[in-house]
Structure 1
């Protein structure tokens, strides 16, 4: 099975066009956004003395990525190349797959906690990355809610659409399954930038790819991703918030 290929809906040329379009547009807009901040309010005013970024910055960053993914997938991957949402991976699936997805997310989360402890022990400097993902001080209730909605609901859906529905499926139609899973997982991990998160995301991606291939649907990966992010946010943000209260 690992040496087999999938029947993807995009050709090599079409896949590269979709991938490059996303990379150019997303990083181009991100660069322009950073320049806008630098030459207006400045990064010091935005971050303050905190080691964590403000909630509004992370929310807008996730929103930008979501909009670019949806625009590229809809305009190129689907409309221009006449591919259906079903071919992308939105197919009906048995409820037991959703339960399995939630179970895998929980197991993966527990393993990632153990892995994080090992990584911090091996590389002590990475302990700084264990801080809360956003600045809690000065964060309004509305900003926190928007951050949670983006992180727990919207981001998992759009990332699964791009990384599993398009990227992995396209690569698996050109290369052996194991190689497509490895490359797309590394790319997914790299998109998280911070080293411990990148490693953790890449490993979680392999489990999510199993769900996608076995169920032939994006719904189990989406459920797994949602549960994973919910657990991560609860551990990294809500628990310290409750302790501080």
Structure 2
């Protein structure tokens, strides 16, 4: 009787664990994180106010620290939300070094725009002053008070808001719906989050709404062209600085 030899059965190697990469958050979750980020400012502002520091130095360094804490809390929430994914933070928020020509384009556009606004104001023989911004600085205040009143608007606000809107929220929208949708939606959300400027006493200032929609679109266009949030940061900072300097420039030239 012939002997039947059986081949040894090779041991089956265990399957490697499947790694599930978590991409950017979707639109709904991204919006929820954005709301949470800005909502975190109020409790922090109350906590700082409870110390009495802002009352003791309304235009001093404690006020500057208050601004850093509030804007920092917003950025921290966004950073933590991005870190919960497997996307690198610099890629998620588009913190990339842009091409110099994109920076020059953004700077030139903003300065030309506000230069034209100054010219139109002078030709109209009026001094158009943003009272809300001017009211932050007491009449006759020295240079230090002016700097402390505006530095967070010129520096912190552009860094944080562009990281939030054209960085974090943009990534969540573009990942699912494309760059065009990201530009449109981030512009709308950007304008909506500035409701304190266009909603006064229940009345909607349509001109101010249009201003923020257009500004959001311009900043989004810079983000789209450059692929970096640093370009809209520079444009945003120059726009805010131009608004701060606008009353002084017009008054000096009038």
**Does TM-score exceed 0.5, indicating one fold?**
yes
Separation in 1, partners of 2:165, 2:120: 23
Q: Give 1:75's aligned residue.
A: 80
- 1:10 is paired with a residue of what secondary structure? coil
1:10 matched to 2:27? The reply is no
Pick closer, same or farther for the CA change 1:96–1:208 going to 2, 3 Å.
same
Pick closer, same or farther for the CA change 1:227–1:69 going to 2, 3 Å.
same
Pick closer, same or farther for the CA change 1:235–1:33 going to 2, 3 Å.
same
Pick closer, same or farther for the CA change 1:213–1:239 going to 2, 3 Å.
same
- 1:136 is paired with a residue of what secondary structure? coil
- 2:136 is paired with a residue of what secondary structure? coil
Pick closer, same or farther for the CA change 1:36–1:166 going to 2, 3 Å.
closer
Q: Give 1:24's aligned residue.
A: 36
| 1:64-89 superposed Cα distances (whole Å, 9 cap, x missing partner) | 54212221122221x22133213421
Specify which of 97, 101, 105 is matched with residue 100 of structure 1: 105
Pick closer, same or farther for the CA change 1:66–1:31 going to 2, 3 Å.
closer
Q: Give 2:134's aligned residue.
A: 132
- How far 1:60 sits from its partner (Å)? 6.8
Total equivalences in the alignment: 213
Separation in 1, partners of 2:98, 2:129: 40
More displaced stretch, 132-141 vs 219-228 = 132-141
Unaligned runs of 5+ residues in structure 2 are 1-21, 122-127, 199-206
The structure where helix makes up a greater share of residues is: 1
- Give the TM-score, by structure 2 length: 0.65
Show the 5 A alignment for 1:166-181.
166-181=168-183
Separation in 1, partners of 2:97, 2:117: 30
Alpha carbon RMSD of aligned pairs, Å? 4.0
Pick closer, same or farther for the CA change 1:139–1:88 going to 2, 3 Å.
same
Separation in 1, partners of 2:134, 2:186: 28
Show the 5 A alignment for 1:182-193.
182-192=184-194, 193=196
